[in-house]
């Protein structure tokens, strides 16, 4: 399986906006995203269908700045769950539930990618086990279905609570799920043992009923018989045929069976009393001799009660036939069997092995059902269908099954399309894309480097030609610039020194110290040491500096003159004047 780490680090999806590099990704970013995903997993409105992680995160883009690895992990999780949602052949409600797990899966993708970066990923194995066990799950019966939904909810909570890259908690969840499912399967198997016996008896009874109708219908087809004989066949003798089937079966492959004897006796009865042209009289005499006694013995053998008056009536009618009397005859009508006994529509052993224990989607009257082909009854040519709870749902003639398959109303539910299968296919495709992008970037890089080298050589040649000329020009320019700079420096220093010299006591300056502007007032100028002393607003000495340093810092902008001190001179003059007047 392709490496998740390689794909998530190298893949570049054009629609995605990668705000930071993988190197800038921090644990704080991962933790914030995982908290967001856990909160989304608790919102029922986001747990259905194909909710996009990428689109959801985009809504809160002011909160997140993601690396390519994180964005690609969310993209990969979206694609994985979306493909699974479309291809998984389980019930749509279960697909909604499992699709809603994308937040928990994304949390694992981002936080503990090693739990997915292997062929035997415990995350994929857990989801695969769940899907494979619920191929036939449907929403009814609700009591049984709700148990599965509750179990899925517990698993979801456990996935959200994963807080390390240890596979043990996930393996434990899978083992627990399989154990509960195995217990359920054994319970269903016991139910089926009893159901199978009951339904086999019912199927045999239906077979006996319908096949006796089928056999009798074939024997009297296009025959005209006396009304008493027709009534006897339909009302009484049909029961003998059914009892013979129930007791012995038909055993069509054998030449000498009780069923064959009963059928032969029925053929004799029809032959003797029918009006088919061409019957030889001696044949009728031979077959009619002892016929009523044979019928009575057979009826008694299979415990079918026939009154003596009925036997007497048949005996008298038989005498009239043997005497050649003119007897009224009618066409005999009997209902068509409800089962099809055409051997062309019965499955062989290989076909049965192929069909049995498989799940099918059956559409009837606008309703879809997931049912298991549990048992085929050979005698009645019928199928027993069970639901996911192991309960009988339907008895269907095999012919109807074939017709449903042909009409598209019945379709085989293939083995569950597993999440691991989707994962491998998705990674395989994205791995090719990531590799192609990497190759393209490398080729583009080499091409750019080659073009840059060629351009460098061309520029080098052009520059070499111009270099000597430029050196001379630069030399002259530098000399001019040095002179200009020196002149400007001298002028600036002279103007600055003049400003300093003009400063009188009481002048205010602004000094930048540790990114803070402070105001100081000049209170002392010592010409002998060329030193200036400044105080703050409270009159406390805060700053002293010599003229060269002051000039340098004024030029650099660290010190600015706010006032020249004229106000101080005026104030001092006024104070001295008042003192003189006072004297």
pLDDT the model gives residue 147: 93
pLDDT the model gives residue 567: 53
Cβ burial, residue 40 (10 Å; 0-12/13-18/19+): buried
Into which CATH architecture does domain 346-412 fall? Roll (2.30)
- How far is the C-alpha of 13 from the C-alpha of 35, rounded, in Å? 25
Instruction: Report the run of H or E that residue 187 belongs to, with start and end.
Output: helix 168-220
Q: Across the beta sheet with 559-563, what order do the strands follow?
A: 541-546, 531-535, 516-526, 508-513, 559-563
As a three-state string, the secondary structure of 500-569 is: HHHCCCCCEEEEEECCEEEEEEEEEEECCCCEEEEECCCCCEEEEEEHHHHHHHHHHCCEEEEECCHHHH
| Rg of the chain over all Cα atoms, to the nearest angstrom | 52
pLDDT the model gives residue 443: 80
End-to-end CA distance of the chain: 108
pLDDT the model gives residue 5: 76
Instruction: Report the run of H or E that residue 123 belongs to, with start and end.
Output: helix 122-133
pLDDT the model gives residue 463: 82
Neighbouring residues of 545: CB distance < 8 A, sequence distance ≥ 6 = 531, 532, 534, 553
Question: pTM for the complete prediction?
Answer: 0.66
Full pLDDT tens readout for the chain, 583 residues:
567 777 777 778 777 778 888 888 899 999 989 999 999 888 888 776 667 888 888 887 777 888 888 888 888 888 888 888 888 889 989 988 988 899 999 999 899 988 987 778 999 999 999 999 999 999 988 988 999 999 999 999 999 999 999 999 999 999 999 999 999 999 999 999 999 999 999 999 999 999 999 999 999 988 899 999 999 999 999 999 999 998 887 765 555 588 899 999 999 999 889 886 555 667 788 888 889 999 999 999 999 999 999 999 999 999 988 888 888 999 888 888 888 887 777 888 999 999 999 999 999 888 889 999 999 998 888 999 999 999 999 999 999 999 999 999 999 998 888 888 888 887 777 777 776 776 776 787 788 888 888 888 888 888 888 888 888 888 888 888 888 888 888 888 898 888 888 888 999 999 988 888 889 999 998 888 889 999 998 889 888 999 999 889 888 888 999 886 655 445 545 544 555 555 4
pLDDT the model gives residue 120: 84
Residue 39 · residue 56 · CB < 8 Å? no
Into which CATH architecture does domain 503-582 fall? Roll (2.30)
Residue 532 · residue 524 · CB < 8 Å? yes
For the chain, what are the domain ranges?
4-190, 224-331, 346-412, 503-582
DSSP summary character for residue 486: H
Domains 346-412 and 503-582 share a fold: yes
pLDDT the model gives residue 568: 47
Residue 515 · residue 573 · CB < 8 Å? no
The DSSP string of 250-313 is: --TT-SS-HHHHHHHHHHHHHHHH---TT--HHHHHHHHTTHHHHHHHHHHHTT----HHHHHH
- How far is the C-alpha of 486 from the C-alpha of 479, rounded, in Å? 10
The DSSP string of 55-122 is: HHHHHTTTT----HHHHHHHHHHHHHHHHHHHH--S-HHHHHHHHTTHHHHHHHHHH-GGGTSSTT-H
């Amino acid at each position: 399986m392709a490496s998740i780490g390689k794909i998530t680090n190298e893949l570049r999806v054009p629609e995605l906006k990668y705000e930071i590099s993988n190197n800038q990704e921090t644990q704080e970013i991962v933790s914030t995203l995982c908290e967001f995903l856990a909160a989304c997993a608790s919102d029922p409105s986001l747990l259905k269908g194909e909710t996009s992680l990428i689109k959801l995160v985009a809504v809160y883009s002011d909160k997140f700045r993601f690396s390519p690895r994180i964005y690609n992990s969310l993209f990969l999780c979206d694609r994985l769950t979306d493909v699974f949602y479309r291809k998984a052949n389980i019930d749509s409600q279960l697909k909604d539930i499992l699709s809603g797990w994308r937040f928990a899966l994304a949390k694992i993708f981002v936080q503990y990618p090693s739990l997915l970066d292997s062929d035997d990923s415990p995350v994929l194995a857990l989801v695969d086990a769940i899907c494979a066990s619920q191929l036939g799950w449907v929403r009814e019966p609700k009591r049984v279905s709700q148990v599965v939904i509750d179990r899925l909810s517990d698993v979801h909570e456990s996935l959200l609570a994963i807080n390390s890259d240890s596979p043990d908690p996930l393996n434990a969840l899978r083992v627990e799920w399989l154990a509960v499912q195995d217990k359920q399967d054994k319970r269903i198997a016991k139910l089926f043992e009893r159901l199978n016996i009951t339904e086999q008896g019912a199927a045999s009874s239906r077979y006996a009923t319908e096949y006796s109708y089928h056999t009798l219908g074939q024997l009297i087809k296009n025959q005209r018989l006396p009304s008493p004989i027709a009534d006897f066949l339909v009302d009484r003798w049909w029961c003998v045929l059914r009892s013979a089937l129930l007791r012995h079966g038909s055993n069509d492959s054998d030449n000498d069976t009780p069923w064959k004897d009963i059928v032969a006796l029925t053929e004799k009865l029809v032959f003797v009393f029918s009006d088919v042209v061409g019957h030889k009289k001696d044949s009728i005499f031979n077959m009619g001799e002892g016929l009523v006694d044979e019928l009575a013995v057979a009826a008694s053998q299979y415990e079918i009660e026939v009154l003596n008056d009925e036997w007497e009536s048949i005996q008298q009618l038989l005498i009239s036939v043997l005497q050649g009397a003119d007897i009224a005859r009618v066409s005999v009508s009997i209902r068509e069997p409800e089962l099809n006994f055409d051997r062309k529509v019965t499955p062989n052993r290989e076909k049965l092995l192929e069909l049995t224990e498989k799940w099918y989607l059956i559409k009837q009257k606008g309703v879809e059902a997931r049912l298991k082909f549990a048992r085929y009854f050979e005698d009645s040519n019928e199928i027993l269908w069970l639901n996911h709870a192991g309960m009988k749902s339907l008895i269907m003639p095999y012919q109807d099954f074939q017709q449903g398959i042909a009409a598209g109303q019945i379709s085989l539910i293939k083995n569950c399309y597993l999440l691991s299968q989707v994962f491998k296919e998705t990674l395989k495709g994205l791995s090719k894309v990531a590799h192609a992008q990497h190759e393209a970037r490398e080729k583009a890089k080499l091409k750019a480097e080659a073009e840059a080298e060629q351009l460098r050589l061309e520029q080098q040649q052009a520059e070499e030609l111009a270099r000597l000329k430029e050196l001379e020009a630069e030399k002259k320019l530098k000399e001019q610039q040095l002179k200009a700079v020196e002149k400007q420096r001298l002028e600036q220093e002279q103007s600055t020194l003049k400003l300093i010299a003009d400063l009188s006591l009481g002048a205010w300056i602004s000094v930048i110290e540790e990114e803070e502007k402070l105001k100081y007032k000049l209170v002392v100028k010592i010409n002998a040491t060329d030193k200036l002393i400044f105080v703050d607003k409270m009159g406390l000495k805060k700053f002293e500096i010599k003229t060269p340093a002051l000039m340098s810092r004024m030029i650099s902008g660290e010190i600015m003159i706010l006032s020249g001190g004229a106000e101080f001179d005026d104030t001092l003059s006024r104070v001295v004047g008042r003192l003189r007047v006072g004297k």
